[in-house]
A and B are shown apart, each in its own frame.
Chain A
Amino acid sequence: GAVVSQHPSRVICKSGTSVKIECRSLDFQATTMFWYRQFPKQSLMLMATSNEGSKATYEQGVEKDKFLINHASLTLSTLTVTSAHPEDSSFYICSARDPGLAGAYNEQFFGPGTRLTVL
């Protein structure tokens, strides 16, 4: 199956700093990528849909100025957590949609996730 990578896998930062997380599709071009956030023992909550070449679509309640998403190429989307605070500590997972498999059960591939800890 297709591979999606995330970098970094873990990051610890100080409160007030910004953190960038990368999501890459390694063997297909992803016109759409999704960003999820997951607190321990909880569900994956969709934060935003990232479309290549256009602005991201944010879910209700997600601060777009806080969570900046850039999908500058067909293989890379980035999530920047700006002015991070301890409550932003979470597991962030991306997924990438292969347009060649659109509508199929296996159209979407998940990255391994990034664990963010804000001190």
Chain B
Amino acid sequence: AQKITQTQPGMFVQEKEAVTLDCTYDTSDPSYGLFWYKQPSSGEMIFLIYQGSYDQQNATEGRYSLNFQKARKSANLVISASQLGDSAMYFCAMREGGNQGGKLIFGQGTELSVKP
């Protein structure tokens, strides 16, 4: 069963507008972490933001915020004031607690294109 699901293969957003990238997850582990990474065409993985399962507040990092809805098992990424440099692939990932040894499980990714 897919543990991390990103249902938007591609998204377009106008420069300076906000965009939400969807991510749902599935786990029975009460302790887990959710990550968002940006991957530009160069291929490097750039960490954006993290949300722990026990965190009470939604994570924010500059223009990035994570809309964490635990009951719905969703962890959507919101990018405010989009910039042309935001065009890239975006991946949601989960790390389960317990004895998983730090493995990250990635979603399918969303390709974001920012229009001028």
Residue ranges of A at the interface with B (Cβ–Cβ < 8 Å):
32, 34, 41-46, 49, 91, 93, 95, 97, 102, 105-108, 110, 112-113, 115
Contact = CB atoms under 8 A, between A and B. Distances in A.
B60 interface: no
Nearest to A106: B47
Nearest to A51: B101
Contacts, number: 49
Given A44-B91, A46-B104, 7 more contacts: A41-B89, A42-B108, A43-B108, A49-B103, A105-B52, A112-B42, A112-B44
Interface of B: 33, 35, 42-45, 47, 50, 52, 89, 91, 101-109, 111
A115 B43 contact: yes
Q: Is the interface of A mostly helix, strand, loop or mixed?
A: strand
B47 A43 contact: no
Contacts of B101: 32, 49
Contacts of A49: 101, 103
Nearest to B33: A105
Contacts of A113: 43-44
A104 B21 CA distance: 24
Contacts of A95: 45, 104
Nearest to A101: B102
Nearest to B104: A108
| Top-5 shortest CB links A-B | A105-B50, A110-B45, A113-B43, A44-B106, A43-B106
Nearest to B46: A110
B45 A93 contact: yes
A42 B104 CA distance: 15
A98 to B, nearest CB: 10
Central interface residue in B33, B50, B101, B111, by most chain A CB within 10 Å: B101
B44 A97 contact: no
B51 to A, nearest CB: 9
